[in-house]
Amino acid sequence: MAKTDTLTVDQQKLVQAWTESLPTVLNASDKAEVKADEADANVIWVHIATAGHSFYSFDFKCTYVDSREVKVELIDVERDGRNVDERTDTIQTMVDDYVRHIHECAQLLQAVTNR
């Protein structure tokens, strides 16, 4: 049986929905930016900047596997504009936390994506 559950939402509407919803699942002091992938309508890019003294920023590629599920890939971690080793325990804990929040946001948006 073929899988037919595909994402059929206009990408700009999807980006707008993510832009509005993602801050509701993140820490209040974190800043998020969501962009469309110009080459793939099933992909959005999420940039999260942490607040406080750490000045970390994270870039994630989020690919819709179907209308409900996103595959989240960490692309880059920077601190104060410089690449950092994302294998440290501190960074891994933050990445895991953000990935969980991104999946949480995808769940919130099922009303938009699951049509």
Count of other CB atoms within 10 angstroms of residue 100: 12
Helices (H), 26-85: none
Q: Is residue 93 part of a domain?
A: yes
Q: For 96-113, write each residue's pLDDT tens digit.
A: 999 999 999 999 998 888
Q: Is residue 40 part of a domain?
A: yes
Give the residue numbers spanning the domain of 106: 11-110
Q: For 39-63, write each residue's pLDDT tens digit.
A: 999 999 999 999 776 789 999 999 9
How far apart, in whole angstroms, are the C-alpha atoms of residue 70 and residue 53? 30
Of 100, 86, 108, the C-alpha closest to 20 is: 108
State the total domains in the chain.
1
Confidence band, pLDDT 50/70/90 cuts, at residue 2: very low
Q: Is residue 4 part of a domain?
A: no
Mean pLDDT, residues 5-14: 82
Q: Is residue 5 part of a domain?
A: no
Confidence band, pLDDT 50/70/90 cuts, at residue 75: very high
Instruction: Judge if pTM exceeds 0.85.
Output: yes
Q: Is residue 1 part of a domain?
A: no
How far apart, in whole angstroms, are the C-alpha atoms of residue 66 and residue 45? 17
Q: Is residue 35 part of a domain?
A: yes
Q: Is residue 3 part of a domain?
A: no
Answer yes or no: is pLDDT of 37 > 60: yes
How far apart, in whole angstroms, are the C-alpha atoms of residue 58 and residue 49? 6
Mean pLDDT, residues 68-80: 93
Q: Is residue 71 part of a domain?
A: yes
